[in-house]
Amino acid sequence: MRVDIISIFPEYFAPLDVSLIGKARERGILDVRLHQLRDWAHDVHRTVDDTPYGGGPGMVMKPGPWGEAIDAVLATGPAEPPRIIVPTPSGVPFTQRLAMEYAAEPWLLFTPARYEGIDSRVMAEYGARTRVDEVGIGDYVLAGGEVAVLVMVEAVGRLLPGVLGNARSAVDDSFAPGAMENLLEGPVYTKPPEWRGHEVPEVLLSGHHGKIARWRRDEALRRTAGNRLDLLAALDPASLDEHDRRLLKELGFPS
């Protein structure tokens, strides 16, 4: 997969050299290309922002440099343009489902902003030529979109074939479509079996795959009921078996 990122802080993306994503880049699974937005600002100060029309605090990123930068990136790729992802707290929520959708794309272009964001005409311009998604990574406001892009590239990158050591890891993750859809993963343990007086739940040592699977599902239901009532409410009733329903009733959530 090719990923282009245009930013006024390309150095912010140094973490993409590290760990799983760094290895995916070394192995050619992920081709990340960074671009300095200011290379397309032509005044002596390489200005990329200006005051907002309509007044108000803060500055808005000018359409000119963004348009030139995006055109230049598009010119280096195939005729089929990339899917453009514009991080913004006012966008649609970034979810595991969206990460999976992005992982199936051949080419993504991220446009992390600073200040109060990018002049909206940029999204209108490219929205007429390709898919432009305005995406938020959570209900809080960051100083800039770079961290949001790091989050998204990591979530997408680990789903690319060959990146995770064991492809099953992604299937069992919290939020993974299928058995874990709308469920959080429960607690995990490793050796030793006892640490500072805390014991690993016995069932995990039993070697009984059926019982272990049942225990994991119970813990996933417990954790979801404890931490995310919104996800619990979104559970498909058809995905619940008798045991699930009994457990949820015990937890105070009769279906």
Ligand X SMILES: C[S@@+](CC[C@H](N)C(=O)[O-])C[C@H]1O[C@@H](n2cnc3c(N)ncnc32)[C@H](O)[C@@H]1O
> What residues between 115 and 174 interact with ligand X by CB under 6 A?
116-117, 136-138, 140-145, 148
Q: 89, 105, 172, 185: which is the annotated catalytic residue? A: 89
Q: Does 90 bind ligand X (CB under 6 A)?
A: yes
CB within 8 A of 240, min separation 6: which ones? 248, 255
Q: Which stretch binds ligand X (CB under 6 A): 20-28, 36-44, 111-119, 181-189?
A: 111-119
**Residue 17: DSSP 8-state:** G
Nearest residue to ligand X, by Cβ distance, number only: 145
Question: Which run of H or of E encompasses 83?
Answer: strand 83-93
Q: 50, 173, 181, 219: which is the annotated catalytic residue? A: 173
Sign of CA dihedral 147, 153, 156, 157: negative
Identify whether 158 is a catalytic site residue: yes
Q: Does 7 bind ligand X (CB under 6 A)?
A: no
Identify whether 116 is a catalytic site residue: yes
Angle of CA points 153, 188, 206, to nearest 5°: 140
Instruction: Kindly state the tokens that stand for 164.
Output: 């995770």
Q: 158, 216, 217, 244: which is the annotated catalytic residue? A: 158
Size of the site for ligand X (CB under 6 A): 19
Cβ distance to ligand X smaller for residue 134 or 244: 134
Q: How far is the CB of 54 from ligand X (least distance, A)?
A: 13
Q: Does 88 bind ligand X (CB under 6 A)?
A: yes
CB within 8 A of 79, min separation 6: which ones? none
Q: Does 190 bind ligand X (CB under 6 A)?
A: no
Residue where the block lists tokens 């939020």: 175
Identify whether 173 is a catalytic site residue: yes
What's the rounded Cα separation, in Å, for the pair 243 and 216? 13
75: left (phi over 0), alpha (psi -120 to 50) or beta: alpha
Cβ distance to ligand X smaller for residue 81 or 144: 144
| Binding residue for ligand X, selected from 41, 49, 82, 112, defined by CB under 6 A | 112
Identify whether 185 is a catalytic site residue: no
Q: How far is the CB of 148 from ligand X (least distance, A)?
A: 4
Strands 83-93 and 132-136: parallel
Residue 153 CB neighbours (<10 A)? 25
Which positions touch ligand X (CB under 6 A)? 87-90, 112-114, 116-117, 136-138, 140-145, 148
Mind telling me the catalytic residues?
89, 116, 158, 173
